[in-house]
Amino acid sequence: MKSRKPLLSALTAAALLFAGTLIAQDAPPPPPPPPPAPMSSPAPTERAAYPTPQGQVVVHSAAAPAPMIDPAPPFEQLSGGGKWITEDQAAAYLPLANDFLNASHNGRRVSKAQYDEWVKQLQ
């Protein structure tokens, strides 16, 4: 008597592939994209209305205010007088802590030159 496992496995895989294509064909088409909003000058708030089957949806949007960032402290203050700023020392200045990988170029510490370059990007 021959083993039927290879035949059963092949039939099961074929059935699953065929079922997947049938299910994919039964999905309704995606709704058409909303018409593009006319280009206008930037305003403090924008308003757009979109018709839906449940009624009209009105979207109000406004730009978020720019965050206020304190000026960067001197390198010597963050480094504690050393040649490098470690990730733990960078925690004293939140913008540097949040951007430590970029400032250190994916390293473990930030040199004075890297810090000066990073501070220039803030301005």
Query: Hey, what are 60's tokens?
Result: 């109000």
pLDDT, position 116: 95
- The pLDDT of residue 108: 92
The pTM for the full model equals 0.49
CB–CB of 72/56 below 8 Å? no
Q: How many CB atoms lie within 10 A of CB 102?
A: 13
Comparing C-alpha atoms, which of 97, 88, 43, 101 is closest to residue 69?
97
| 91/35: higher pLDDT | 91
d(CA 34, CA 10): 45
Question: Could you tell me which of 81, 86, 80 has the C-alpha nearest to residue 100?
Answer: 86
Which tokens hold the place of 8?
Answer: 């059963």
Average pLDDT taken over every residue of the chain: 83
Determine the Cα–Cα distance for residues 37 and 76; give it in Å rounded to an integer: 51
More confident residue, 38 or 69: 69
- The pLDDT of 34-51, averaged and rounded, is 69
DSSP 114: H
Percentage of the residues of the chain whose pLDDT score is greater than 90: 38
Strand partners, 109: 86
Residue 99: band (very low, low, confident or very high) from pLDDT cuts 50, 70, 90: very high
Compute the chain's Rg from CA coordinates. 29
